[in-house]
């Protein structure tokens, strides 16, 4: 069974979570907009269950608007983003992930390209440059990630999982 004690983040209300590379945090303005521009938050709300949107300098990954507790589990060649749907406790949610490891994963059609390094997962309404303890920090290698999803149900616990499979950058 997976070890408990991961950092979990949850949107403060209905709204998406975003995964932003640390170097791009200053580009994420949350609910703040300048002039006639739509806010980053509004753009994230239009991204669907999973999607990528552009900000100055790169790409931000968006995860649906379900107010679900979410964490990151690092794995070789990627990792799994876990969204806690139902479970008595964290150990139960992580056990659902472990029990469903061999499940059928469905491609999301979303590929995430990153320069690598630290990324932060947080409520899309927040301003990226404002420090917060309510963030999941994770490391990703440079390259592209194919993202697949599965609903993993153990009977007493259910999670929605997004598996990130790393593809190294193409050699020139």
Q: How would residue 102 be classed by pLDDT, with cut points 50, 70 and 90?
A: confident
For residue 12, is it within any domain?
no
Report the pLDDT value the prediction gives residue 1, as an integer from 0 to 100.
46
Query: Between the CA of residue 30 and those of 26, 34, 44, 123, what are the distances in Å?
Result: 10, 11, 9, 8
For residue 4, is it within any domain?
no
What is the tally of structural domains in the chain?
Answer: 1
| pLDDT score of 35 more than 90 | no
Q: 113 is in which domain, residue-wise? A: 17-167
For residue 28, is it within any domain?
yes
For residue 3, is it within any domain?
no
For residue 161, is it within any domain?
yes
Residue 14 or residue 62, greater confidence: 62
For residue 172, is it within any domain?
no
Q: Which residues pair with 121 in a beta bridge?
A: 19, 136
For residue 159, is it within any domain?
yes
For residue 11, is it within any domain?
no
Q: How would residue 40 be classed by pLDDT, with cut points 50, 70 and 90?
A: very high
Q: Which residues pair with 9 in a beta bridge?
A: 70
């Amino acid at each position: 069974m997976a070890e408990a004690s991961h950092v979990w983040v949850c949107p403060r209300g209905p709204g998406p979570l975003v995964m932003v590379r640390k170097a791009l945090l200053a580009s994420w303005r949350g609910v703040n907009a300048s002039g006639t521009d739509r806010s980053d938050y509004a753009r994230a709300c239009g991204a669907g269950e999973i999607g990528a949107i552009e900000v100055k300098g790169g790409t931000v990954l968006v995860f649906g608007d379900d107010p679900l507790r979410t964490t990151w589990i690092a794995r070789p060649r990627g990792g799994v983003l876990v969204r806690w749907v139902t479970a008595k406790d964290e150990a139960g949610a992580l056990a659902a992930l472990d029990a469903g490891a061999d499940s059928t994963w469905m491609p999301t059609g979303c590929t995430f390209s990153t320069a690598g390094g630290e990324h932060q997962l947080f409520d899309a309404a927040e301003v990226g440059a404002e420090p917060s303890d309510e963030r999941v920090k994770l490391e990703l290698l440079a390259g592209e990630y194919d993202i697949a999803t599965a609903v993993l149900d153990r009977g007493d616990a259910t999670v929605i999982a997004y598996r990130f499979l790393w593809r190294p950058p193409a050699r020139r």
